[in-house]
Amino acid sequence: MGPGILDVLFEYWPIFLKGAIGTLRYAFIAVSLGSLLGALIALMHLSKSKILSSIASLYVNVLRGTPLLVQMYIAYFFLPIAVPVLNNVDKEVYVLIALTMNSSAYVSEIIRGGINSVDPGQNEAARSLGLSASHTMTKIILPQAIKNILPSLANEYIAMIKETSMAGTFMLYELMYTRTLLANKYLSWQPLFIIAGIYLIMTLVLTSLVKLLEKRFSVSD
């Protein structure tokens, strides 16, 4: 059996802490950049141009229809070959590109859904007043869509916290990577329960924050 779970936690807590921070950081970067990219994809998807919307649709389908791990491998091995500029950057960047692109596909659907959930009458009223398409979007549609978008975006962040566990495969210092580090010290099972426990605490805390957020939004309805 070896040492107990608590023994391992007390001895190696700085490693777990560093891993947890890594996880939160990667998830945050992926969802933040993914949101910007996702907003762009959503606008392309909603645009009147058939070409733009089919490109966006293809992008979303490919990224949601293939495993993230495969996407990470492609980014890790193929990007340096395809884009020589990326040859000298930290390998962390490849994995982050994969995470960001993957997240952007999901976020774009969240944003698109949020925009589509706004009553079409709002668009008609704004346009009939002579508001431009862009003013209609920024002043009328988005402020109403944001209520639906923000909680889902927070949920995407929670999902991404779990997804980043795959980054450990590429030696990126996040929570799951601590398993590899401690396996070298002949600790096979104890770190796994600690890792699972930390993931659970992070997602539970964040989920309850999202619930609070949703409650606040529904008050102003």
Partner 1 sequence: MTDKKIPLIETKNLKKNFGDLEVLKGISETIYKGEVICIIGPSGGGKSTFLRCLNMLEEPTEGEVYFEGEKLDAKSTDIDRHRQKIGMVFQQFNVFPHLKVIDNITLAPTLEKKIPEKEAKETAYKLLEQVGLSDKAEEYPRKLSGGQKQRLAIVRAMAMEPDVMLFDEPTSALDPEMVKGVLEVIKKLADSGMTCVIVTHEMGFAREVSDRILFIDEGVIAEEGTPEEFFTNPKNPRTKEFLSQVL
Interface residue list for partner 1 (CB under 8 A): 119, 121-122, 124-132, 135, 139-140, 143-144, 221
Strand, coil or helix: 66: coil
Closest CB 221 distance from partner 1, rounded Å: 7
Quick check: 60 and 103 in contact, CB under 8 A?
no
Q: Least Å distance between CB 47 and partner 1? A: 17
Which class for 163: exposed (0-12), middle (13-18), buried (19 or more C-beta within 10 A)? buried
CB of 136 vs partner 1, minimal distance in Å: 10
CB 34 to partner 1: min, Å:
26
Minimum CB distance to partner 1 smaller for 123 or for 165: 123
Q: Name which of 31 and 149 has its Cβ closer to partner 1.
A: 149
Token representation of residue 191: 């770190």
Residue 155: exposed, middle, or buried by beta-carbon count in 10 A (0-12, 13-18, 19+)?
middle
Distance CA 177, CA 195 (A): 10
Q: How far is CA 27 from CA 20, 35, 90, 142, 165, in A?
A: 11, 12, 17, 24, 10
147/179 with CB nearer partner 1: 147
**Rounded to an integer, what distance in angstroms lies between the CA atom of residue 122 and that of residue 111?**
17
Q: Nearer to partner 1 by C-beta: 132 or 188?
A: 132
Shortest CB 110 distance to partner 1, Å: 19
Beta carbon nearer to partner 1, 81 or 219: 219
